[in-house]
Amino acid sequence: MKIAMVCERTDTHVGELARELGRQGHHVTLDVRRDCPEPRDRVRRDPGVTVEYVPAGPPRPLPDDETLPYLPDFGRRLAERWERTRPDIVHAHAWLNGLAALAAARDLDLPVVQTYHSLGVVCSRQGDPGHPARIRLERAIGRTADVVIAGCSDEATELLRMGVPRTRIKIVPGGVDGGRFSPDGPADPRGDAHRLLALSQAGADTAIAALGRIPDTELMIAGGPPREELDSDPAVHRLRELAERGRVADRVTFLGDVPRRQLPRLLRSSDLVLTLPPYGPAEPVPLEAMACGVPVVATEVGGHAETIIHNVTGMHVRPRQPVELARLLRDLLADPTRRHAMGIAGADRARSRYSWERIAHETAEVYARVVELRAPVTPTP
């Protein structure tokens, strides 16, 4: 198939999906709003994968509210390209790209698949509603697209509540790069203390509150702005105050945004990985930790409920329960044999269920079904 993916960046999991689809013989074009002064309009990225930089607005990264006014121009330019080189299917990633893709595909009668990656209704529960029109527009996108791909059952349920017809929702989880994320490889240096790693600020307050009940253990918190900007970040300031009040500030380290190339080393250096948001989409963090052979302790929300098998590849905990969390973490840290068994099981599950080869195949099956349903019916003589 000829696949047009409309996305914001090419170095994310969207790029990994495109790369694997290219390996499987499809022709993928990543249509990206130009956000940097890239000298070329078209770049060959991988076998079967090309990046098209579409000029629409200033050539720099923009927040959602500043991007929205340029979407009509983005959609018009997409339509011009697709009219010259018609794709079989369009796959839009995130809500802003969904708006542009649907506008471009409408007059060309192209089928559109939408993946949100995160939903405004979920983000609003976490105190980050984003653009005021986001939830309303996401609802409209979901009701217009041919199919919406959800990353997990929780997201599918949210889509149903938004009014997306059940028949248009397909569940395909995200994948993990087993070549980059694996138990084998170098690890970051560490001391004698146990190491807990939280790869998100969401839920980090619960981890800090639990740390006071877990002796001889350090907590590393990744995520947020770059390390040099941590001192001016309000969320980090709040978490630091919490650590001071709990008398654990000397055992909490804020890493800031960790480049993906450094992430496997950091994961391998940890005894346990924590991902504790009270709400959440299907995140790649548990998969990447599992692929590195590190057990995951996570709240049973979003994709965590399906990615992590309780007491096999990791443990589920209730949100915002630091005493319960501390008890569970103490038990796991005191039992290296159990952690090792969980790590082996997690790495095996990541390889077998969440390889990009399998996820790309499942995504291509969704595409093929949409194209088949859109095909004109030949009347029977």
pLDDT of residue 379: 59
Rounded mean pLDDT of 318-338? Answer: 97
* Closest-CA residue to 31 (of 50, 16, 13): 50
pLDDT digits (tens, 9 = 90+) for 29-48: 999 999 888 667 899 999 99
Residues linked to residue 53 through DSSP beta bridges, in sequence order: 32
In the DSSP assignment, the letter for residue 321 is: -
Q: What is the pLDDT of residue 281?
A: 60
Specify the CATH number of the domain 2-175+356-374.
Answer: 3.40.50.2000
Question: Which architecture, in CATH terms, is 194-353?
Answer: 3-Layer(aba) Sandwich (3.40)
Number of other residues whose CB lies within 10 A of the CB of residue 238: 13
Q: How does pLDDT run across 89-129, given as a tens digit for each residue?
A: 999 999 999 999 999 999 999 999 999 998 998 888 777 76
Q: Tokens 């240096």 map to which residue?
A: 189
Give residue 210's pLDDT. 98
Give the pLDDT confidence of 162-206 residue by residue, as tens digits: 999 999 999 999 999 999 999 999 999 999 999 999 988 889 999
pTM: 0.92
Q: How far is CA 380 from the centre of its chain?
A: 46
- For residue range 214-255, list pLDDT tens digits in order: 999 999 999 989 999 999 999 999 999 999 999 999 999 999
Torsion 344-347-350-355 (CA) sign = negative
pLDDT at residue 209 in the model = 97
Angle at 246 between CA 241 and CA 252, to 5 degrees: 70
Angle at 204 between CA 199 and CA 207, to 5 degrees: 105
282 pLDDT above the threshold of 60: no
Model confidence at 380, in pLDDT bands (50, 70, 90)? low
Residue ranges of the chain assigned to CATH 3.40.50.2000: 2-175+356-374, 194-353
What is the per-residue pLDDT for 92?
Answer: 98
Tokens of 344: 């082996």
